[in-house]
Copies of this chain bind each other. A is one copy, B any other.
Amino acid sequence: VLAELQKYRGDKILKSSKSALFIAKKELLKQDWCKTEPFEQKIREDGCYSKRITNYFCYGQCNSFYIPKMSKRRPKAHGNKRDHRNKHRNDSFRSCAFCKPKEFKYTTVILKCPSLTPSFRRKHVQIVRECRCIAQNMN
C-alpha cells in the first residue's frame, strides 16, 4: 500500500479501498480550517430593554470522505459448517467533520423590564469559546 501511495499523483487507479482511504486522509491533511469570529448578539425579551453581548460564530471547511467497501456479514455462531448465507453488504468508510463549537461557557444577562413584575429578567446565554472541525457520527 505504501509504495502505491508514494507513486500516487491522481493519474493512476488505486488498487483497493484501503489505498483510497490512505489517499483521502493524506490529501485532506492540514488543509481544513474553521474560524472563530466575534459578533454582537442581541439578548431580548418582550417588555424588557435589550442588551448586546459579544458571542462567537464558527465557519469553515472541514474534511469529509466516503469510500465504498464490501463488508462480510459475520456468520452466525450456530450456523452450518458451510454456511452459504454469509452475505456481503454494500458498506463504506465514511467521515465528515463539522466546523462548530468545541467548547462553550455560560453567562447570565439581566434585562431591565420596567413594565413587568419583577422589573428584571435573568437570561442564561451560551457563549461559544472556540470552534473546531469536529468529526460527526455519520452512521
Contacts and interface: CB of A to CB of B under 8 A. Distances in A.
A114 interface: no
Interface of A: 10, 13-17, 19-20, 23-24, 27-28, 31-32, 34, 37-46, 54-70, 84, 86, 88, 90, 94, 96-101, 116, 123-128, 131, 133, 136, 138
A70 B46 CA distance: 13
A61 B28 contact: yes
Copies in the complex: 2
A59 B34 CA distance: 18
A14 to B, nearest CB: 4
User: Ordered nearest first, which 7 A-B pairs have the shortest CB separation?
Assistant: A24-B59, A59-B65, A14-B39, A57-B67, A90-B126, A96-B98, A61-B61
Contact of A41 (B23, B32, B40, B69): B69
A125 B38 CA distance: 48
